Structure 1
Amino acid sequence: MTTSIAAHGAVTKASFGKLPDGTAVDKYTLKSASLEVGLITYGARIVSIKTADKTGKVADVALGYNDIEGYVTDNKTYVGSVVGRYGNRIAFGKFSLDGKAYTIPTNNNANTLHGGTVGFDKKVWDAKEIPGGVEFTHVSPDGDMGYPGTLTAHVKYTIHGDALHIDYSATTTKDTVLNLTNHTYFNLSGEGSGLILGEHIMIDADHYTPVDSGLIPTGELAPVEGTPFDLRKPTLIGKADPNANAQTKLGGGYDHNWVLNGKIGVLHLAAKVHDPATGRVLTVTTTEPGVQFYAGTSIPGTFAGKAGVTYVKNAGFCLETQHFPDSPNHPKFPSTELKPGQTMHSTTIFTFTVDK
């Protein structure tokens, strides 16, 4: 184990075991006075987030597992990982770029989800300590999962008091498409404590992207006004009846992309979640144009988490800051194309506070 003290807190490194093929997986722990975050090189993922409630009691508010076997066995939820090369869905695993057609393996019925059958969540990333955190790097070769260009992706996690900053950057050797995000599941009462239906969510968005039966955007930017997607004021997550609206029925509840009101490339508010039971508040800011609010509607109920409790539907929620799903097939959506000589930059900040 090694430890270094940075300006914002301690960074600790330790072993997290080995993959079935013998590849070593390392764990890094970032710690400030009010926040502790665990990260592993497998999937560049968040494995724990420990923060206090209104009484001062500390709990882990991120779903996950105690050992590497748990993450390898769970090939359904992407829990805690950085997903890519293209996070979210691409219709039928096909897109065109510069007049050339590309095909990616499908892994979500007829569509591609989170990069394909072997996405970035299943890779062991290189890691190095940086001031206040860790920088993960993964090089995806030209043709990996069908995507063009050798892509070099960097994800920096740094801790700043009560906030976890995630900074993404990437370069490519050929024109390609890219959509990186983090797939942490939160439960502000503590992982394994029950369902998230009693928490209140606000999303700063006047529009969302309706989907078809495959959860692929139709191309419309629909107003949230008068729908269960109007979360501009704090709303009980459990208030939405999954069967009351055609769109929530398709997702079994919330599993949609909201079109954020802020300007792309500039930090702006995405969402805020409050848990009345503990007083914990999660505020999400981002430079991205969208956020996928996923209320854990498809958690399979077959994997037991860190507290030994099986994760079931609605055991956690995700707020995946992103460009829109299936953007390569929707020219009117913000572009996800990346060209040689360009560098993609994106920032998302998770801030944890308490409302007493």
Structure 2
Amino acid sequence: MKKIIKLSYLLLALSGTLILVQCKTESKQKDTVTAEAEEAVQNKVTITKSKYGTTPDSTSVFKYTLKNEEGMELDVITYGGIITSWKAPDKNGVYKDVVLGYDSLSQYIKSNPYFGAVIGRYGNRIAKGKLKIGENEYTLATNNGLNHLHGGIKGFDKVVWDAKEIISDSAASLQLSYLSKDMEEGYPGNLKTAVTYTLNNNNELEVLYEAETDKATIVNLTQHTYFNLSADFSKPILDHEIMINADKFLPVDETLIPTGELLTVEGTPFDFRTLKSIGKEIEVDNDQIKKGLGYDHCWVLNDQDKGFRLAATVYHPETGRLLEIFTTEPGIQFYSGNFLDGTLPAKNGGTYAKRTGFCLETQHYPDSPNQTAFPSVILNPGEKYSTKTTFKFSAK
């Protein structure tokens, strides 16, 4: 009988120990869950995914919304890597959308002057769609009169990219990837391309462009967002003040192909070395202004040996919005929305009139494959193409 009592007592003691251990484990689990919840609250950099639409060939297109703790929001769709919305603060801390675009996928597919898109394989124009790499000559698709423009008939702005979300405590990244096959639009080589958008808590969007090839080819990637810092797309951008960190620009011929010269900006309407309103000299009697119907030229950025540096600044006095652009690229194309003509539907109604948006496209120079004095755009097997541009918003 005594043995039975001792055993029972022992079992009870063991049972009590088990209960205590179990209680401690549950407590630790609760503490862990609470810590994770607190961390999630503190980490306000987020990415959310939603269905955006379907292409005519039944490919699904998704929208990713990147949001930081300051309140900046960026919408990117997998069709064309297009930035469809970008909310930036004014001097009163009010966040509004400051980029041109459409309300639906069908509109982007039907008629799109590259609103918000990733541009490739080659941003800007190549004369007559011709180029030579070594002893090999190539003919690209021509889609801008006699010239090749922004990657051709179906450039990177018209393909569906694969997407991968990357998130940390202070930044949200969306990595888009696409394999451009050998001879697509006339380009040689299978080109593995990645474009990564990273939004941080400083209201900066970093755009990292990367590519590798299995055959010598040319690459010149850029981003084609149209900005209107007033956030009112019915208003022209002529009151925006721009600084471009460049002492020289590239004059063009009648088809907007660079002549090969590097002209000084001094004493011309192309001098934006200090802040100047877009509208100040956009209608002056100037041969280059006439050819571009305004500004549609590439500026030769200063301090190219420094790598990543300030390229341009845009300030909107009325709202106080300030945009700074930093890049590793040698040039920047400033386009003042000259071909917007009131026929394209605007977000939430209305249309986009002439010069209601501007673009600042960081890039290598137009027609570089045919201009031996320009920096090379050739990418060889075993090399990695990598450039970076950052857009920083603030207000004053």
Matching residue's letter, 2:163: A
Deviation per residue, 1:244-287 (Å, 9 max, x gap): 11001100000000000022572111100000110000000000
Q: CA 1:156–1:6 in structure 2 vs 1: closer, same or farther (change >3 Å)?
A: farther
TM-score (norm 2): 0.86
> Which residue pairs with 1:170 in the alignment?
211
Matching residue's letter, 2:78: T
Deviation per residue, 1:330-352 (Å, 9 max, x gap): 11101100000000000000001
Structure 1: distance between partners of 2:191 and 2:330: 22
Alpha-carbon shift at residue 243 of structure 1 (Å): 4.6
Matching residue's letter, 1:190: A
Matching residue's letter, 1:13: K
Matching residue's letter, 2:173: G
Matching residue's letter, 1:340: P
1:298 aligns with 2:334: no
* Aligned 1:1-356 pairs, distance under 5 A: 9-34=45-70, 35-75=72-112, 77-131=113-167, 132-161=172-201, 162-263=203-304, 266-355=307-396
Q: Residue 66 of structure 2 contacts residue 73 of structure 2 at CA under 8 Å; is this kept in 1? A: yes
Q: Residue 196 of structure 1 contacts residue 314 of structure 1 at CA under 8 Å; is this kept in 2? A: yes
- Secondary structure of 1:313's match? coil
Alpha-carbon shift at residue 55 of structure 1 (Å): 1.8
Query: Which runs of structure 1 show a deviation greater than 4 angstroms over 4 or more consecutive aligned residues?
Result: 4-8
Gaps of 5+ in 1: none
Q: Residue 264 of structure 1 contacts residue 288 of structure 1 at CA under 8 Å; is this kept in 2? A: no
Identity among equivalent pairs (%):
51
**Alpha carbon RMSD of aligned pairs, Å?**
1.5
Deviation per residue, 1:105-154 (Å, 9 max, x gap): 11111101001111110000010101211000010000101110000110
Q: Residue 240 of structure 1 contacts residue 253 of structure 1 at CA under 8 Å; is this kept in 2? A: no
Deviation per residue, 1:39-71 (Å, 9 max, x gap): 000001111110121122221001111110121
Structure 1: distance between partners of 2:379 and 2:194: 15
Which segment drifts farther, 28-37 or 338-347?
28-37
Deviation per residue, 1:281-323 (Å, 9 max, x gap): 0000000000000000112321112121201210100000000
* Aligned pairs, number: 351
- Secondary structure of 2:304's match? coil
- Secondary structure of 1:250's match? helix
Structure 1: distance between partners of 2:347 and 2:257: 33
Q: Residue 52 of structure 2 contacts residue 63 of structure 2 at CA under 8 Å; is this kept in 1? A: yes
Structure 1: distance between partners of 2:386 and 2:43: 24
Q: CA 1:223–1:307 in structure 2 vs 1: closer, same or farther (change >3 Å)?
A: same
- Which of the pair is proportionally richer in helix? 2
Matching residue's letter, 1:253: G
Structure 1: distance between partners of 2:198 and 2:215: 30
Decide which structure has the larger Cα Rg and report it: 2
Gaps of 5+ in 2: 1-39
- Which of the pair is proportionally richer in strand? 1
Q: Residue 8 of structure 1 contacts residue 159 of structure 1 at CA under 8 Å; is this kept in 2? A: no
